[in-house]
Amino acid sequence: MKVSVVGCGYLGAVHAAALASLGHHVTGLDTDAAKVGRLARAEAPFHEPGLPALLRDGTASGRLAFTTDPARLAGARVHFICVGTPQAKAGNGADLGQLRRAVEALRPHLAPGDLVVGKSTVPVGTAEGVEALLAGTGAVLAWNPEFLRQGTAVADSLMPDRLVYGLPEGDGRRAARELLDAVYAPLLERGTPCVATNFATAELIKVAANAFLALKLSFVNAVGELCEQVGADVVELAGALGHDARIGSRYLQAGVGFGGGCLPKDLRSFRAQAQERGVQSLDELLSLVDGINAAARGRAAEAAAAMCGGEVRGRRITVLGAAFKPHTDDTRDSPALDIALQLAAKGALVTVSDPQAAGHAWLAHPQLSFQADAMDALRGAELTMLLTEWPEFTGLDPVAVAAVVDRAAVLDGRNALDAGAWRAAGWAYRGIGQGSGRPVGAARTAA
């Protein structure tokens, strides 16, 4: 089938390439000419494992093209809208400007019977507004939220846990369902569960899923704070909770909290939606989740000060990680960068290393020093902080690292290092939420 994808960022570029791999003819549209240029040359404009191969295959097959010209979307039967819905500059709500402009640009090129499919994450009620914008075109609207994670976006797109269809009331409902089923036929044939519902439920499923993940993370991080005070270990506690199938072990990795372009802004948008409709309990719950997450970053900065003897001013601190999580170059609302900036603001001499995100981060934050190579970044460090658990960092040899730092003290902000191995190599190791009873700040000088 001929389909279009409007907005080719972290979601849209992967969606376009994945649809081409399913056999569809895909044209991707973006307003960013540089991004379109790279995609048209089958180059991924950001780091996403598996995407370069998918782009190369799609381009070579002649089924994948990219453009900045909305007129080239005419003739496609299904149009996926994947533009950004960031947090508005003022308040917690989402900024829907990209969405409105994308629909307006697409509108003149729609034909009766076309299906427009919203994939962007939006506040409840948005689809109804988009439907009104499409009036007179003869096109039908559906909302099909996306659940992919950056870093595993290709696999998540091709093997999702479920599909959600928000379908219109009335005449267009059956046609919308049939077209979506045709687009996702290979996934449905494999037995992927599909939930077909109305617009409002589909919109809320998406934000509720992200808010629930955030809730789980803030829960374990708040419990971790108590663990630290009483000599308990949140890693062991979370492992034990995870054995209970009703709780599950995923999203219980305690540390410096969640970040990225979605969980934080979706949590706040959901809050704004609850607030607008007077659902105070949900508003307050989400506000606590957000507050606990912000506090986790502050506590990591405080722990760093404690490990430096109470004061970070003038101390050389190496931060391992700039991306909001491993396997992406995305630094949007990154806990690692936030903590690095908090420490730099207090006068620490911060050097950051990241296998993929250092370039982005350096452009935005010239007050931090960056080193591409982790060992170079660690040379002379008085405190090492692991804040993004890239395998390049968790696989570091603590003996080799101890030989290049000034003080062998490490704060493991993701509880991802082998604590026993680091301690055995002479390191003062501290994990977040791990109240081992060891005196904080008792860093041993490297041999």
Ligand X SMILES: O=C(O)[C@H]1O[C@H](OP(=O)(O)OP(=O)(O)OC[C@H]2O[C@@H](n3ccc(=O)[nH]c3=O)[C@H](O)[C@@H]2O)[C@H](O)[C@@H](O)[C@@H]1O
Measured N-to-C along each axis, helices 335-345 and 280-307 cross at an angle, to the nearest 10 degrees, of 50
Strand 407-412 to 444-445 pairing = antiparallel
Look up residue 374 and give its two tokens. Answer: 């982790």
- CB 169, min distance to ligand X, A: 26
Which of 3, 115, 262, 292 is the binder for ligand NAI (CB under 6 A)?
Answer: 262
Look up residue 203 and give its two tokens. Answer: 């919109």
User: For the chain, how many residues are written?
Assistant: 447
**Which residues on neighbouring strands pair with residue 194, listed in sequence order?**
163
Window 109-148: contact mask with ligand NAI (x via CB under 6 A): -----------xx------------------------x-x
Work out what residue 358 binds among ligand NAI, ligand X, none; the CB cut-off runs from 5 to 8 Å by kind: none
Which of 8, 176, 263, 361 is the binder for ligand NAI (CB under 6 A)?
Answer: 8
Q: Which is nearer to ligand NAI, 19 or 148 (CB)?
A: 148
Are 260 and 324 within 8 A, CB to CB?
yes
Work out what residue 31 binds among ligand X, ligand NAI, none; the CB cut-off runs from 5 to 8 Å by kind: ligand NAI
Catalytic residue from among 8, 82, 262, 308:
262
Residues 6 or more apart whose Cβ sits within 8 Å of residue 245: none
Q: Cα separation of 216 and 227, whole Å?
A: 16
Work out what residue 444 binds among ligand X, ligand NAI, none; the CB cut-off runs from 5 to 8 Å by kind: none
- CB 337, min distance to ligand NAI, A: 17
- CB 146, min distance to ligand X, A: 6
Q: Cα separation of 14 and 54, whole Å?
A: 8
Q: Which residues bind ligand X (CB under 6 A)?
A: 121, 146-150, 210, 213, 217, 251-253, 255, 257-260, 262-263, 324-325
- CB 276, min distance to ligand X, A: 21
Listed residue (336, 442, 324) closest to 383, CA to CA: 442
- 435 in a labelled binding site: no
**Which residues on neighbouring strands pair with residue 351, listed in sequence order?**
318, 369
- 329 in a labelled binding site: no
- 206 in a labelled binding site: yes
Residue closest to ligand X when measured from CB atoms: 262
Work out what residue 324 binds among ligand X, ligand NAI, none; the CB cut-off runs from 5 to 8 Å by kind: ligand X
Listed residue (150, 144, 21, 130) closest to 78, CA to CA: 144
Are 377 and 353 within 8 A, CB to CB?
yes
Q: Please choose, out of 25-33, 107-115, 362-370, 379-387, the segment that lies near ligand NAI by the rule CB under 6 A.
A: 25-33
Q: Which is nearer to ligand X, 57 or 156 (CB)?
A: 156
Give the DSSP per-residue string, 41-59: TT--SS--TTHHHHHHHHH
Q: Cα separation of 444 and 385, whole Å?
A: 15
Q: For residue 8, indicate whether it is catalytic.
A: no
CA distances from 99 to 43, 202, 291, 355 (A): 25, 17, 29, 33
Give rounded-to-5 percent helix, strand, coil for the chain.
45, 15, 40
Q: Which is nearer to ligand X, 38 or 119 (CB)?
A: 119
Residues 6 or more apart whose Cβ sits within 8 Å of residue 140: 113, 114, 115, 116, 168, 172, 175, 176
- 216 in a labelled binding site: no
Look up residue 200 and give its two tokens. Answer: 């409002």
- 259 in a labelled binding site: yes
Q: Cα separation of 302 and 307, whole Å?
A: 9
Work out what residue 16 binds among ligand NAI, ligand X, none; the CB cut-off runs from 5 to 8 Å by kind: none
- 2 in a labelled binding site: no
* Phi-psi map region of 4: left, alpha, beta (phi>0 left; psi -120 to 50 alpha): beta
Which of 1, 2, 22, 31 is the binder for ligand NAI (CB under 6 A)?
Answer: 31
- CB 414, min distance to ligand X, A: 7
Work out what residue 217 binds among ligand X, ligand NAI, none; the CB cut-off runs from 5 to 8 Å by kind: ligand X
Which of 3, 10, 114, 220 is the binder for ligand NAI (CB under 6 A)?
Answer: 10
Look up residue 40 and give its two tokens. Answer: 């048209």
Work out what residue 384 binds among ligand X, ligand NAI, none; the CB cut-off runs from 5 to 8 Å by kind: none
Q: Give catalytic residue positions.
A: 262
Binding site for NAD(+): what residues are annotated?
30, 35, 85, 121, 265, 332
Pick out the residues of the known binding site.
30, 35, 85, 121, 206, 251-255, 259, 265, 325, 332
Task: State the binding site for substrate.
Answer: 206, 251-255, 259, 325
Site for ligand NAI, rule CB under 6 A: 6-12, 29-32, 35, 82-85, 98, 101-102, 105, 120-121, 146, 148, 150, 261-262
